[in-house]
Structure 1
């Protein structure tokens, strides 16, 4: 999963799960249904008598049938694997870029006006294009939209970031597990190149574009 954790602007090696406790869902793995009658049937076949119709070349006929079935199965598997898989959707095809950023020394009141004028709910706090944190509308409302406090006192210092190559599926899972609404997108030099939000995934869901490639 190509997701990274940033703490005060620096990419850290600490596992994401230790800082962002999973929540929202108990498990994203499909549960396997148990079918006890199938176990019983298998046991009967394994332990019971095997009835073979006697006759000339019966063993040879059985081997021939087995070989035919094996060849047919192998041929079908090869044809299936030869089919071109649908390309996986990546963040680069959905993210918003260029992204709106803000300096950590900006007062809350100025940040509120900027967010309101841009009609966005999140701003990425940056310094030299490096992500320092994430500022949300909720942060501003809690601080008071007319406050002169610099946003460096209130924005989230730890964040999860994606890369343009990150799969949309991985981002969606992180949104659910970590109960977050947006994620900055960074390049190999840790420069912010975009942002992806829940609303972007919802638009993708509504459009129905290649959903089979990321669900």
Structure 2
């Protein structure tokens, strides 16, 4: 499940109304069919002219034994690759999350990002409620030595995921919307972790070992 948080509170607003969708619109169905009217019926009539199927011949065909059918199915399945398990947010998120208070200034936020080699911080209130995000780029836009407080610059609306949100849903958000990180928040509004674009890239690179993540 995905949701929008505004100033630390869940709001019932569609994602598209708050974040510009940058995905390409899906192709529409063609208005006219490539088949001409009656073409299928015409092919059927022609087939009957070329072939005569004896109903008795079908009854005379030997039945395939259950053992032979089972052996065939086992052989067919043996050549198939194992399906990749669908991971949830709780399996790939980074935890604990690096956070900062809105009363801190941009320089303090920059130094913390440099210390931990990260590109964003979750802004939290005194009770550790996630209020929003501050990114490296936003700090650079104002100046890394700026004493402006985070309260007037951070992103107060953010897309968040639940611990059980499946990874394909999260990947879709990164593709369709201009977000760099998605905090993971449980049903009691507690910050559990964070997933970034970099996390997904690392996951793709290490996809050969993805079974061990599930």
Does 2:115 align with 1:117? yes
Q: Note the 1:147-186 alignment, pairs <5 A.
A: 147-186=146-185
Helix, strand or coil: the match of 1:50?
A: helix
How far did residue 45 of structure 1 move? 2.3
Does 2:58 align with 1:59? no
How far did residue 125 of structure 1 move? 0.5
How far did residue 209 of structure 1 move? 3.5
Q: Structure 1 stretch 38-47 or stretch 107-116: which is displaced more?
A: 38-47
Deviation string for 1:3-45 (max 9, x for gaps)?
111011110111111111210x30478x99x994799973532
CA distance in 2, matches of 1:136, 1:89: 26
How far did residue 49 of structure 1 move? 6.2
CA distance in 1, matches of 2:36, 2:192: 53
**Corresponding residue for residue 189 of structure 2:** 190
CA 1:206–1:62: 2 relative to 1, 3 Å? same
Deviation string for 1:148-194 (max 9, x for gaps)?
11101001111000122111111111001002111101111111110
CA 1:38–1:211: 2 relative to 1, 3 Å? farther
Q: Note the 1:1-215 alignment, pairs <5 A.
A: 2-23=1-22, 25-27=23-25, 36=34, 42-46=40-44, 48=46, 50-51=48-49, 53=52, 58-62=54-58, 86-127=84-125, 128-209=127-208
CA distance in 2, matches of 1:85, 1:115: 38
CA distance in 2, matches of 1:168, 1:64: 52
Helix, strand or coil: the match of 2:48?
A: coil
CA RMSD in angstroms, aligned pairs only? 3.4
CA 1:46–1:161: 2 relative to 1, 3 Å? same
CA distance in 2, matches of 1:210, 1:3: 26
CA distance in 1, matches of 2:208, 2:188: 31
How far did residue 62 of structure 1 move? 4.4
How far did residue 111 of structure 1 move? 1.1
CA 1:42–1:164: 2 relative to 1, 3 Å? same
CA distance in 1, matches of 2:150, 2:210: 38
CA 1:42–1:9: 2 relative to 1, 3 Å? same
CA distance in 2, matches of 1:110, 1:191: 24
How far did residue 91 of structure 1 move? 1.4
